[in-house]
Amino acid sequence: MEKVGLLPFLESRTDARLKQLKIPLAWIMDASWTFLQERYSDVLQDLDLATAYELKGGVIHDIMCSLPNLKSFSARLLQDRDLDSRPWVCLSLKKLIIGLEVVEEGWETHRLIFGRL
């Protein structure tokens, strides 16, 4: 169940031109992310999830892999274990504010993270 009603808000939007979204103190759940990705993946340019405390790192990686027009993105934490082989598609990214946590030691882990920037 959504804690802040994000999914009903997104579903109530009648246009597909949402370019900027800041979710203050939200707990974004999988259903919200799925809907956001399906409806706005081609138009969303600025996404601020810095205060979405319960956001899973896998969702952060999904965002980077599925929002090609993203120019600005903020999120709390991405762990190296959340990464997979999918490339990041947000090639127009100008601003990235994200906490990175490296759990696994070694050059391969660093290459996975910093090779995408």
Note the pLDDT of residue 11.
59
Note the pLDDT of residue 116.
75
Note the pLDDT of residue 22.
65
**Rounded to two decimals, what is the model's pTM?**
0.73
What one-character-per-residue DSSP string does 19-78 give? -EEE-TT----HHHHHHHHHHHTTT--EEEETT-TT--HHHHHHHHHH-TT--EEEEEEE
Name the stretches of the chain with pLDDT < 70.
1-18, 20-30, 106
